[in-house]
Amino acid sequence: MLKEDSFVQRFLFDDLDIRGAFVQLNDAWRKMVEGRQYARPVRTVLGEMAAVASIMTGNLKQPGRLTFQMQGHGPLSLLVVDCTETLNIRGYAKGEDVPSDGALPAMVGDGRLLLTYEVNDQQQPYQSYVPVEGETIAAVFEHYLALSEQQPAVLALACNGDAAAGLFLQKLPDADKRDEDGWARITQLAGTVKPDELLSLDTETLLTRLFHEEQVRVFEPRPVIHHWPMDPEKIESMLLSLGRDEVQSILDEQGMIEIHDDLSNHTYRYDADDIEALFQGHIPPTRH
């Protein structure tokens, strides 16, 4: 039976000054990729990136929205994952003829990772670019965190057709003062985790299995969701901004205006009657 709950749960090794988080995306992941015909390696890296985005958003000191864009010159030209402060997640991938071996460098090629961090009371979002360095999504984000936070971090990620999951560990500034061998010991134990364990075990069972001799303080889990209903008003505002002549020329050429929202995975279609109603200031017939 498929698991339904999706969550991020933080934890802390108080005696070692090491923090961590565990994420499982079950129903949220399946909703996010529903109807998308991604090849297996594309689905895997998108799911792993969604797990990382959920962890990092859940760890923010100041709640906000994180968006990751991985762009490259390989057959997988774009990966995007967007996660709000309420852990409402969405994302998509764009690529053609992706190699079946699933190696990230072969898929992305020469690429870069862009992080955008938006907080409600700030006028401009924070943005950060780093090269895509690493053989896996986990390695890429470990490199990113080492550069951006100046603290080493370890990620273990997994994804299949039904779920995505991840285990995150980060060394805090006083870790060596607490136990000079603590970080090496914890990361060695974490390195034994198997993908099936990440995807199937609950937090308590996983942490007990990996770190049964350590004292771990576990915080309350936070649910992760995928809830992005259609927003025709946004699309219609965009059409109105283009102007009647431009929209009519598209309609004349294609017979129908079709717009796909890649991130939220919705398609909007407008025929001649819809466009006429829109520019007359009425609700298009398909909206009734």
* Residue 85 φ then ψ, to 5°: -65, -20
Confidence of residue 123 (pLDDT cuts 50, 70, 90): confident
Residue 2 lies in a domain: no
Q: Residue 4 has what pLDDT? A: 81
Alpha carbons 202 and 206: distance in angstroms, whole number = 6
Query: Is residue 112 located within the same domain as residue 245?
Result: no
Calculate mean pLDDT across residues 58-86. 94
Verify that 236 and 202 share a domain, yes or no: no
For the purposes of burial, counting CB atoms within 10 Å of the CB of 248, is it exposed (0-12), middle (13-18) or buried (19 or more)?
A: middle
> What digits encode the pLDDT tens for the residues 152-191?
999 999 999 899 999 999 999 999 999 999 999 999 999 9
pLDDT of residue 284 exceeding 90, the answer is: no
Count of structural domains within the chain: 2
Q: Could you tell me how many residues make up the chain?
A: 288
- pTM above threshold 0.75: yes
For residue 1, pLDDT over 70 is answered with no
Q: Say what the pLDDT of residue 96 is.
A: 82
Sequence-distant (6+) residues with CB within 8 A of 253 are none
Which residues constitute the domain of residue 267?
Answer: 232-287
Q: What is the C-alpha separation between 273 and 271, in angstroms, rounded?
A: 6
Return phi, psi of residue 233, to 5°.
-60, -40
As a whole number of angstroms, the distance between CA 278 and CA 261 comes to 19
- 250 and 165 in a common domain: no
Q: Which residue has the higher pLDDT, 1 or 43?
A: 43
> What's the rounded Cα separation, in Å, for the pair 140 and 75?
18
Domain boundary among 169, 199, 223: 223
pLDDT digits (tens, 9 = 90+) for 238-269: 999 999 999 899 999 999 999 999 999 999 99
Average pLDDT over residues 222-237: 94
The pLDDT assigned to 288 comes to: 58
Torsion of CA 23, 192, 184, 211, to 10 degrees: 70
Of 195 and 287, more confident: 195
Q: Look at residues 10, 2, 3 and name the one whose alpha carbon lies nearest to residue 222.
A: 10
Query: Within this chain, do residues 243 and 272 fall inside the same structural domain, yes or no?
Result: yes
**Nearest to 36, CA basis, from 263, 288, 284:** 263
| CATH code for the domain of 248 | 3.90.1280
Question: What is the pLDDT at residue 58?
Answer: 95
Query: Phi and psi dihedrals of 137, rounded to 5?
Result: -60, -40
Query: Do 63 and 151 have their domain in common?
Result: yes
